[in-house]
Amino acid sequence: MATSLRLDRISKRYGEDLAVDSVSLEVGTGKFVTLLGPSGSGKTTLLMMIAGFVQPSAGRIFAGTQDITALPPERREFGMVFQGYALFPNMTVAENLAFPLRLRRVAAVAREVARMLDIVRLPGLGGRYPRELSGGQQQRVALARALIFNPKVLLLDEPLSALDKRLRAGLQEELRDLHQRLGTTFVFVTHDQDEALSMSDEVVIINHGRIVQQGTPKALYNCPETRFVADFLGRSNFIEGRVEALSGERLAYHAGGHRFAQEMRSGTAGIAPGAGVLIGLRPEKIVLTAAEPANDANRLAGEVASVSYEGADYHVRVATPIGSIQVAVPAGHGGMEPVGGARLWLSWDPAASVVLRDEG
């Protein structure tokens, strides 16, 4: 039976280092939550504490209403998929899958194993040894082994990082699909932002052992709160300006001798006339035109410095009075094809950019 998870001010200290710093987090029953962060951010340590392999230095962990902080891993009933899979090399695929069932003295082991192999689309491979399987197949065996005993929560530690890009995309979809069919709570750790965005119900961004921001993939991508999040999730331009005027939800600032307007989220603190302000602007939210736009959007003239073709779109760098700005232009829609040295106009809506805090 799937369960919810709750971390209450969890910390982990290694000597002087604080690997995880007072993290509180709730994972709803049946949710797919991703812990995303650069390497060394503490996300894996956090997962290992949820799994029970690492004891937190402070704080409590709850599964549903039960406090499991002191419970050893084998009594938590969580499935875990390790980086590198950790399949038992001296056992066949079927024996690997049967391992958790035999420990629980489940009857009808063979039937369960066959059913699970069907679910992960590896029917008939039960007799093979792990070394005889491809990376993608090993990955599915690891997944099947972690799910076969109906764990309360499935923990995944960068399970796709060893696979090539195409295989990874396929398995991402399968994993997503499996999650929806089984309804198990998934906690997924990755450093790959695309993976996090495409798979999760909720993404938790971790840096320096702390939660930086959490939310749905869409909310995180469109409304990052800090420079770190905007930079880590996708690409972003940063404009450092100075506040000129403030009226209600609208902010006027100037940068590089130009004046721009900005829609503000309510409750953005520390904004006052004369103060510095950091604006994040996604490359795909900028419109390039040959003539000066007629509407009242923010506008800026510039010269194309470089163009790189990336299949789905062009990635253009434009030299402007406020510095180099990157712009993504969709390719293949009959729109303008940017060429180096061309002089053109950049424009964006005041609601398209976001005010950021300049911190990790």
Partner 1 sequence: MRADIDRRTLRIYWTLLAAPLLLLGLFYLYPLSKVLWLSVTAPSPGFANFEKLYTSDAIQRIIWTTVRICTITTVLALGLGYLIAYAALHVRSRQEEILLFLVLLGSWLSVLIRAFAWLTLLQSRGVINTWLIELGLITAPLAMVRNEFGVVLGMVHYMVPYAALPLYANMKGIDPRLVPAARGLGATPTQAFAKIYLPMSAPGLISSGILVFIFSLGFYVTPALLGGGRTVMIAEYIALQINDTLNWGLGTMLATTLLLTIFGLLALLACFVDLRRVFGVK
Chain residues in the site for partner 1 (CB under 8 A): 51, 53, 72-74, 77-80, 82-84, 86-90, 99-100, 103-104, 145-146, 149, 155
For the CB of residue 79, give the shortest distance to partner 1 in the complex, in Å: 7
Q: Which is nearer to partner 1, 79 or 217 (CB)?
A: 79
Tell me the CA distances in angstroms from 330 to 37, 163, 253, 292, 312, one per residue in order: 28, 29, 29, 20, 6
- Residue closer to partner 1 (CB basis): 110 or 319: 110
Task: State which residue, 88 or 309, has the beta carbon closest to partner 1.
Answer: 88
Structural Rg of the chain based on CA atoms = 25
DSSP letters along 193-214, please? HHHHHHH-SEEEEEETTEEEEE
Place of tokens 């629980």: 104
Supply the minimum distance, in Å, between the C-beta of residue 154 and partner 1.
Answer: 11
State the nearest-atom distance from the C-beta of 91 to partner 1, in Å. 9
Task: Give the list of residues 6+ apart from residue 316 with CB closer than 8 angstroms, or none.
Answer: 288, 304, 306, 307, 308, 326, 327, 328, 329, 338
- Least distance to partner 1 from the beta carbon of 15, Å? 12
- The least distance separating partner 1 from the CB of residue 104, rounded to whole angstroms, comes to 6
Cβ proximity to partner 1: between 18 and 86 the closer is 86
- Rounded Cα distance between 130 and 11, Å, is 36
Q: How far is the CB of 86 from partner 1 (least distance, A)?
A: 4
Residue 143's Cα: distance from chain center in Å? 20
Residue 155 C-beta: closest distance to partner 1, Å: 8
- Evaluate whether 228 touches 40 at the Cβ level (below 8 Å): no
Between 53 and 309, CB nearer to partner 1:
53
Q: Report residue 34: phi and psi, to 5°.
A: -110, 130
The nearer residue to partner 1, 70 or 245, going by C-beta atoms, is: 70
Rounded CA gap, 182 and 176, in Å? 10
Least distance from partner 1 to the Cβ atom of residue 87, Å? 8
The smaller minimum CB distance to partner 1, of residues 141 and 277, is found at 141
Q: Which is nearer to partner 1, 47 or 328 (CB)?
A: 47
* Closer residue to partner 1, CB minimum distance, 29 or 83: 83
Cβ neighbours for 105, distance < 8 A, ≥ 6 positions apart: none
Least CB distance to partner 1 at residue 90 (A): 5
The closest alpha carbon to 314, from 341, 333, 299, 301, belongs to 333
DSSP 288-315: EESSPPSSSSEEEEEEEEEEEE-SSEEE
- What's the CA gap between 219 and 226, in Å, rounded? 13
